[in-house]
Structure 1
Amino acid sequence: MSRPAPAAPAVPFTDLGAMTRDVRDDVDAAWKELLTESDFVGGAPVERFEGEWARYCGTTEAVGVANGTDALVLALRALGIGGGDEVVVPANTFVATAEAVVLAGARPRFADVDPGTLLLTADGLAAAITPRTAAVIVVHLYGQTADMDALDAVAARAGLPVIEDAAQAHGATWAGRRAGSMGRLGCFSFYPGKNLGAFGDAGAVVTTDPRLADTLRSLRNHGRAGGHHERHDLVGTNSRMDTLQAAVLSAKLARLDGWTGARRAIADRYREAAPGTGAVRLVRVDSRAAPVHHLAVAMTDDRDGLRAFLAQRGIATAVHYPVPCHLQAAFTRFADGPLPVAEAAAARIVSLPLFPHMTDDQVAAVCGAVAGWDRGRGDGAR
């Protein structure tokens, strides 16, 4: 006799279905057109989305690729980075950032992060630079941009190009400049769970350098020379964007700012419930940044206790990321020593539910539970 499926939590961690319903009619119409045209890879819908995304990011070029990891790998390759080179990456990031460096043939050089924002700092970058350093990947994690003014200054002094990993920062800004527009290249993932997500894997690289854009277009398409199907000037790969994904992204892009506004309103309510004086403290927001809150990350000394407390109340949580990159088995050979901030934070971080279609009752439930946890810490009631 099979057991009944467990009831869904009262507050799920995310709800992709609600965003899908918002764009269903537009996607249905696009799909019918694609079936009629039978143009399933590249084509006009991809070019249209590339133009829309470049304008949205404040760049002149956008190159659609198959996924966010490829975006990083191809950005590194377009800059000529490979064997013998080092690339500075923060230890607190999704593993794809470091993975891309290795896939490009270079060596990741891990740097520690700010204890408040958990993002790469200028001091962390400066400490990680060696004579072999060829670039830095700045990660705008959780939806907040890093301090690009300070990081750009350090990189410029060292003669290093800056690549932005903006996979979690669609539309985020630093001092009014959009994520992806501040480095030589900006890399995005459109994985379904992202703020701007496709119906499968997709990614893009943005830049204001047309030569780099041309190189990226060749690399994503087996190294083909522009306009020549049978001429291959570079050793490339197959990283083309599906036409359906481009159509989905165009439909969602029209709604992105509205969804971002909803995320910001929810994050503001969370910050009121956990103002940083109790047992739960949200990751700090820099006053010069306008985050898009891909994740609502908090820190607490008893993460397992908090997660259990919330789960008992039907509130789902997650952890992004419990093991810093330099301590992952695949990357320990690249570690040059301890990185105390990233290591300490990894044991304390927890991600609260945050998605643009959260109801007022769901937000209130999370806020009330977090506040209740804070109160209960004083008398052991959990």
Structure 2
Amino acid sequence: MKVPMLDLSEQYQRLRTEMLTVLDEVMSSSRFILGDHVKKLENDVAAYSNVKHGIGCGNGSDAIHIALQAIGVGPGDEVITTPFTFFATGGAIVRAGAKPVFVDIDPVTFNIDPAKIEEAITEKTKAILPVHLYGQMADMDPIVEIANKRGLFIIEDAAQAIGAKYKGKNVGELGTAATYSFFPTKNLGAYGDGGMIVTNDEEIAEKCRVIRVHGSKPKYYHHVLGYNSRLDEMQAAILNVKFPHLNEWSELRRERAATYTHLLKEMLGDVVVTPVEVDGHYHVFHQYTIRVPKRDELQAFLKENGVSTMVYYPLPLHLQPVFQELGYKEGDLPEAEKAAKEAVSLPMFPELKVEQQQYVVEKIVEFYKK
């Protein structure tokens, strides 16, 4: 049996007629940049996040960068974040001219450990940038408490967590702003790149809108140095077709996650550490990530048997060559480093079949029984 990491073909077939209709609409309208489809998506995603403003942009990486610039992060500033995340999180901080300060993760959730944030704060700290990894929000109450006490901004990197909740609150409600990615593999994915910033702060929202069009307002009058980072009308139209299905897809992901957990615990006991949905959280399982011994050998074995897996992320940001001038060394952030050696993500998408999941788990069992 072949089990892909992700298969979007069945989703497309289900939506094909509606998708082709809306794409024809866009092409017939001849309006391709910042049109009605973008406005609709911005309004809908903002409302879904329970905030007032949505600002579509070119991709999730730009969303973080623009949000940081909008809150005034620049040269001489420090931004506290996690080392166990995609490169864009740290890269956006550096592109904004600031210094990323990495603190270790909670080994249960893989998210930033709030207990380690306070000791990393200096007089240069401007913001905290928690990442809601794999579809589960970080522990936000203590992060918000620290930020309020120290006068810091919070930018939530929610690239993997649209629809996730924390104690009844949505992504975007607890920070100054939050950022989404609509990369094709995301829970709400475009057919190309796309991203969005959501916020309740009108001033920050307006700054983001200006920054995404070369810092121009009105057109051809530039007050800040911005970027060309707009969510195009075609991708917004595609996302508008998909968006009404997002809650259903999240529930299907949660069902698939429960099936994996049941099968793995029943057949392997404690050999594999399965994901934990923390009390008060609503996990949307962008990835189903386990911790295992002999991770690389397991991954190779599964590949030989037709099962795709992914390692997110094999080298934490604090040890990346491009960040070596920050002065981190191996052993500085042990939980992130340990996770990088143990974590592997199994196939996860709403259309994943139970028989495919059973096959995946059977092969994992076969590997460890050897």
Deviations 1:156-211 (A, max 9, x none): 22211110000000101111111122100000110001000001000000001111
Matches of 1:274 and 1:373 in 2, distance apart?
13
- Could you tell me the percent identity over the aligned residues? 39
* CA apart distance, 1:229: 1.8
* Match of residue 79, structure 1, among 64, 71, 90: 71
Residue pair 1:88, 1:110 contacting (<8 A) in 2 also: yes
Determine whether 1:270 maps to 2:260. yes
Determine whether 1:244 maps to 2:234. yes
Residue 191 of structure 1: SS of its match in structure 2?
coil
Q: Which runs of 5+ in 1 are unaligned?
A: 1-8
Determine whether 1:68 maps to 2:60. yes
**Residue 26 of structure 1 aligns with which residue?**
18
**Residue 4 of structure 1 aligns with which residue?**
none
**Residue 134 of structure 1 aligns with which residue?**
126
Residue pair 1:143, 1:292 contacting (<8 A) in 2 also: yes
Matches of 1:128 and 1:336 in 2, distance apart?
13
Compared CA separation, residues 343 and 16, structure 1 to 2 (3 A): same
Compute the TM-score of the two structures, normalised by the length of structure 2: 0.96
* Match of residue 82, structure 2, among 90, 97, 120: 90
Determine whether 1:340 maps to 2:334. yes
Instruction: Output the amino acid matched with 1:69.
Output: S
**Residue 106 of structure 2 aligns with which residue?**
114
Residue 366 of structure 1: SS of its match in structure 2?
helix
Deviations 1:217-249 (A, max 9, x none): 001011122xx2232222211111110010011
Determine whether 1:123 maps to 2:115. yes
Deviations 1:71-116 (A, max 9, x none): 0000000001100000011010101000000000000001100111
* CA apart distance, 1:127: 2.5
Deviations 1:247-277 (A, max 9, x none): 0111111111111111100101111123384
Determine whether 1:311 maps to 2:303. yes
Residue pair 2:164, 2:284 contacting (<8 A) in 1 also: yes
Residue pair 1:327, 1:335 contacting (<8 A) in 2 also: no
Determine whether 1:327 maps to 2:335. no
* Match of residue 362, structure 1, among 332, 351, 356: 356
* Match of residue 171, structure 1, among 143, 147, 163: 163
Instruction: Output the amino acid matched with 1:90.
Output: T
Residue 351 of structure 1: SS of its match in structure 2?
strand
Instruction: Output the amino acid matched with 2:25.
Output: E
**Residue 250 of structure 2 aligns with which residue?**
260
Matches of 2:104 and 2:52 in 1, distance apart?
32
* CA apart distance, 1:372: 4.0
Residue 347 of structure 1: SS of its match in structure 2?
helix
Matches of 2:277 and 2:366 in 1, distance apart?
24
Residue pair 2:26, 2:237 contacting (<8 A) in 1 also: no
* Match of residue 4, structure 2, among 3, 12, 17: 12
Instruction: Output the amino acid matched with 1:160.
Output: L
**Residue 211 of structure 1 aligns with which residue?**
203
Residue 59 of structure 1: SS of its match in structure 2?
coil
Q: Which runs of 5+ in 2 are unaligned?
A: none
Instruction: Output the amino acid matched with 2:125.
Output: T
Two-structure CA RMSD over aligned residues (Å): 1.4
**Residue 298 of structure 1 aligns with which residue?**
290
Residue pair 1:121, 1:151 contacting (<8 A) in 2 also: no
Residue pair 1:318, 1:350 contacting (<8 A) in 2 also: yes
Matches of 2:227 and 2:57 in 1, distance apart?
11
Instruction: Output the amino acid matched with 1:242.
Output: D
**Residue 3 of structure 1 aligns with which residue?**
none
* CA apart distance, 1:304: 1.9
Residue pair 1:87, 1:134 contacting (<8 A) in 2 also: yes
Tell me how many residue pairs correspond in the alignment: 366
Residue pair 1:198, 1:249 contacting (<8 A) in 2 also: yes
Residue 282 of structure 1: SS of its match in structure 2?
coil
Matches of 2:338 and 2:358 in 1, distance apart?
30
Residue pair 1:273, 1:370 contacting (<8 A) in 2 also: no
**Residue 43 of structure 1 aligns with which residue?**
35
Residue pair 1:145, 1:173 contacting (<8 A) in 2 also: yes
More divergent stretch after superposition (337-346 vs 84-93) = 337-346
Residue pair 1:91, 1:324 contacting (<8 A) in 2 also: yes
Matches of 1:87 and 1:335 in 2, distance apart?
16
Instruction: Output the amino acid matched with 1:360.
Output: V
Instruction: Output the amino acid matched with 1:19.
Output: Q
Matches of 1:335 and 1:125 in 2, distance apart?
18
Instruction: Output the amino acid matched with 1:102.
Output: V
